[in-house]
C-alpha cells in the first residue's frame, strides 16, 4: 500500500477499515477532560464496555445464591474455568485441552518451571534473551538458585551484537547448539517487550528439542497480538497475561499452555492443588492427587470469578473478530506509523523495532536522543498516552481492536511539533 502523510488519507483508511466499529466497544481514557490518544495497550488494554455487565452478573448471582452459586449461578463457579479453552485455544493455536486460565503470569511461569526445569547432572543451563522482562529474569534466577546453581553460571543471556538493537536469531540457534547436552531449558519472551521483536518460536523450538532441551515462552506480548501456533510448533509450555492485548483488566488472570504430549502425564512433577485435582474426585476430600485432564491439571486454587468475568467479556470480542483479521489490520497500523515516523526525518528519533513487519507485533519502539522522559511527559500533556522505558525509549502500541489510523496520524503530528 502506498501511504500518504495527511489527515484526509488517515481518515480514508479508517472509513474503509472493516474493524472500525470495534473501537466503540471500548471505553477510551481522557486527559484533562478531553479524549486521549491511547498507545499503551502493550501495558494495559482498554476496558470493554461489556465488562461491567459481566461482573454485575456474578455479583447478582453471589447475592442470590451465596455458596450455591458454585452450582446455580448463570455460569456455575465450580466449572467457571471451563468456559475459556475453546476461545483461548483459537487465539494461541492450541487444542482446547492444552490451555487453561488461572493465577497471575509469573505464578504460572513458576508452576510450569517446576515441571519443565528439572536439571540433572550436567544438563542444568537455561537460555533466555538479554533484557527479558524483569519478572522473567527474577523467576529464572530464583528457580536456578532453588536447584542449587548460581545464575551467573546457569543462565545464558543472548544479547544484540554491539551497536545493534535486535537479537539475531542465528545467535540464538548457535548458543543452543553450542550449549548442547548442558542445556535444560530455553525460555524466551515470544515478543520482546522492549523492542517489539517477534522471535521465530517454531525454529527455536526445533533447535532446542534437537539437543534434548525443553522450550517455554512468555507470551505476555504475544497473546492477542500475533498469530500463534503453539501446538503445531511443538512448544512444551507457554503462559501469558490477559491485561495487555487481551483487554481483561489490571493484574487480571493468566493463561497457560501445556502441549498434549505432557498434559496427561501424571508422572510429570508439579505443585498440586485442590482445583487441579480430577473434578470427579474433588469433593471426596481425600489424599492422593489425581490431576484433571489436560492443562487443568496444573490449576492450584479455585478461580477468581470476578476477574474471570471481565476476561470472558474481552475474549468474546476477540473470538468474534479472530486473530487473522486483527493481524491484518495490525500490519497496516504499524506500517503507517513506521511511514510517518520516517517522514519526520528527525535525527532525534530512531526506530529500534524490526523493519520486517513479520518480525514485529502491534508495537513500534523509538529511541530518543534528547531526553525521552521529557518528551514522553510532553506527549502526555498534549493528550497522547505512550509508554516510557529507561533510559531513552518510548513504546507505541497501535492496537487494531480500538486504535485508528487517525490516532496514528494525530500522534506523529503532535510528535513533530515537540521535535521542532
Domain membership of residue 137 (yes or no) is: yes
Q: Reduced to 3 states, what is the DSSP secondary structure of residue 365? A: strand
Report the CATH number at residue 23: 3.90.1150.10
Label residue 420 by pLDDT band (50, 70, 90).
Answer: low
Kindly give the residue spans of alpha helices, DSSP state H, lying in 234-304.
Answer: 260-263
Q: What are 130-162's pLDDT values in tens digits? A: 988 889 999 999 999 999 999 999 999 999 999
CA 379 to chain centre: 25
First to last CA, the chain: 29
The answer to whether residue 48 scores a pLDDT higher than 90 is yes
Give pLDDT tens digits for 218-274. 999 999 999 999 999 999 999 999 999 999 999 999 999 999 999 989 889 999 998
Among 298, 196, 215, 245, which residue's Cα sits nearest to residue 91?
Answer: 245
Residue with cell 506523529: 412
Strand partners, 191: 198
Average pLDDT, the chain: 96
Answer yes or no: is pLDDT of 167 > 90. Answer: yes
Mean pLDDT confidence for 389-409: 97
Written as nine digits, the cell of 87 is 476461545
- The residue out of 286, 320, 354 marking a domain boundary is 320
> Domain with 301 in it: what CATH number?
3.40.640.10
Closest-CA residue to 159 (of 207, 125, 195): 195
The yes-or-no verdict on residue 42 having pLDDT over 70 is yes
In whole angstroms, what is the distance from residue 49 CA to residue 54 CA?
10
pLDDT band at residue 297, thresholds of 50, 70 and 90?
very high
Q: How far apart are CA 144 and CA 150, in angstroms?
A: 7
pLDDT of residue 86: 96
Q: How many helices (H) and strands (E) does the chain have?
A: 15, 15
**In terms of domains, do 191 and 238 share one?**
yes
Q: What is the pLDDT of residues 105-123, one digit of tens each?
A: 999 999 999 999 999 999 9
Q: What is the pLDDT of residue 137?
A: 94
Q: Which helix (H) or strand (E) holds 367?
A: strand 364-368
Task: Please check the confidence at residue 283 and state whether its pLDDT lies above 90.
Answer: no
Residue 160 near residue 327, CB atoms below 8 Å? no
Closest CA to 387 of 405, 351, 409, 363: 363
Last residue of a domain, one of 259, 292, 320: 320
Q: Where are the beta strands (DSSP E) in 190-321?
A: 214-218, 237-241, 254-258
- 331 inside domain: yes
Q: Name the residue range of residue 207's domain.
A: 55-320
Q: For residue 99, what are the β-bridge partners?
A: 257
Q: For residue 185, name the pLDDT band (cuts at 50, 70, 90).
A: very high
Residue 50 banded pLDDT, cuts 50, 70, 90: very high
What is the Cα–Cα distance from 336 to 1, expressed in whole angstroms? 9
> 3-class SS at 59?
helix
Q: Do 82 and 38 share a structural domain?
A: no
Domain end among 260, 285, 320: 320
Cell numbers 490431576 correspond to 291
**Residues 38, 75: one domain?**
no
112 and 219 assigned to the same domain? yes
Confidence of residue 32 (pLDDT cuts 50, 70, 90): confident
pTM here is 0.95
Question: Is residue 1 one of the residues assigned to a domain?
Answer: no
Give just the sign of the alpha carbon dihedral 266, 271, 276, 280.
positive
Residue 40, in any domain of the structure: yes
Q: 204 and 308, same structural domain?
A: yes
Residue 281 phi/psi, 5-degree rounding, is -105, -10
**Cell numbers linked to 308:** 474471570
The answer to whether residues 119 and 237 belong to one domain is: yes
Say whether both 306 and 383 belong to one domain. Answer: no
From CA 48, how far away is CA 50, in angstroms rounded?
A: 5
Task: Give the number of other Cβ atoms within 10 Å of residue 17's Cβ.
Answer: 17
Give the pLDDT band of residue 370 (cuts 50, 70, 90): confident
Radius of gyration of the chain (CA): 22
Domain count, the chain: 2
CA proximity to 184, closest of 157, 148, 159, 208: 208
For residue 211 the three cell numbers come to: 539437543
Q: Does 51 have pLDDT greater than 70?
A: yes
In-domain check, residue 2: no
Amino acid at each position: 500500500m502506498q501511504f500518504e502523510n495527511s489527515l484526509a488519507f488517515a481518515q480514508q483508511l479508517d472509513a474503509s477499515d472493516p474493524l472500525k466499529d470495534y473501537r466503540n466497544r471500548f471505553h477510551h481514557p481522557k486527559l484533562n477532560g478531553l479524549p486521549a490518544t491511547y498507545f499503551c495497550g502493550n501495558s494495559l488494554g482498554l476496558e470493554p464496555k461489556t465488562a461491567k455487565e459481566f461482573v454485575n452478573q456474578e455479583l447478582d448471582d453471589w447475592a442470590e445464591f451465596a455458596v450455591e452459586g458454585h452450582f446455580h449461578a448463570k455460569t456455575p463457579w465450580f466449572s467457571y474455568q471451563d468456559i475459556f479453552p475453546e476461545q483461548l485455544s483459537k487465539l494461541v493455536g492450541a487444542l482446547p485441552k492444552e490451555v487453561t486460565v488461572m493465577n497471575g503470569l509469573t505464578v504460572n511461569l513458576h508452576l510450569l518451571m517446576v515441571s519443565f526445569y528439572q536439571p540433572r547432572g550436567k544438563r542444568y543451563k537455561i537460555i533466555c534473551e538479554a533484557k527479558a522482562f524483569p519478572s522473567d529474569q527474577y523467576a529464572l534466577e530464583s528457580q536456578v538458585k532453588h536447584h542449587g546453581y548460581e545464575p551467573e553460571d546457569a543462565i545464558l543471556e543472548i544479547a544484540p551484537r554491539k551497536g545493534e538493537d535486535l537479537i539475531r536469531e542465528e545467535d540464538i540457534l548457535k548458543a543452543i547448539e553450542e550449549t548442547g547436552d548442558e542445556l535444560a531449558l530455553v525460555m524466551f519472551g515470544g515478543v520482546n517487550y522492549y523492542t517489539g521483536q517477534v522471535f521465530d518460536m517454531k525454529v527455536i523450538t526445533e533447535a532446542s528439542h534437537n539437543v534434548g532441551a525443553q522450550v517455554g515462552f512468555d507470551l505476555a506480548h504475544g497473546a492477542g497480538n500475533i498469530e500463534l501456533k503453539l501446538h503445531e510448533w511443538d512448544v512444551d509450555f507457554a503462559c501469558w497475561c490477559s491485561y495487555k492485548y487481551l483487554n481483561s483488566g489490571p493484574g487480571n488472570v493468566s493463561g497457560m499452555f501445556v502441549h498434549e504430549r505432557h498434559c496427561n502425564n501424571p508422572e510429570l512433577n508439579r505443585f498440586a492443588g485442590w482445583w487441579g485435582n480430577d473434578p470427579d474426585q474433588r469433593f471426596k476430600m481425600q489424599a492422593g492427587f489425581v490431576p484433571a485432564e489436560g492443562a487443568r491439571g496444573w490449576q492450584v486454587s479455585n478461580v477468581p470469578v470476578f476477574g474471570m468475568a471481565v476476561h470472558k467479556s474481552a475474549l468474546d470480542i476477540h473470538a468474534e473478530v479472530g486473530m487473522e483479521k486483527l493481524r491484518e489490520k495490525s500490519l497496516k497500523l504499524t506500517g503507517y506509523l513506521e511511514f510517518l515516523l520516517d517522514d519526520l526525518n528527525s535525527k532525534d528519533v530512531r526506530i529500534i523495532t524490526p523493519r520486517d513487519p513479520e518480525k514485529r507485533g502491534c508495537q513500534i519502539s523509538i529511541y530518543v536522543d534528547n531526553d525521552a522522559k521529557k518528551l514522553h511527559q510532553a506527549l502526555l500533556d498534549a493528550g497522547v498516552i505512550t509508554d516510557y522505558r529507561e533510559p531513552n525509549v518510548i513504546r507505541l502500541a497501535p492496537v487494531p481492536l480500538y486504535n485508528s489510523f487517525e490516532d496514528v496520524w494525530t500522534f506523529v503530528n503532535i510528535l513533530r511539533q515537540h521535535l521542532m
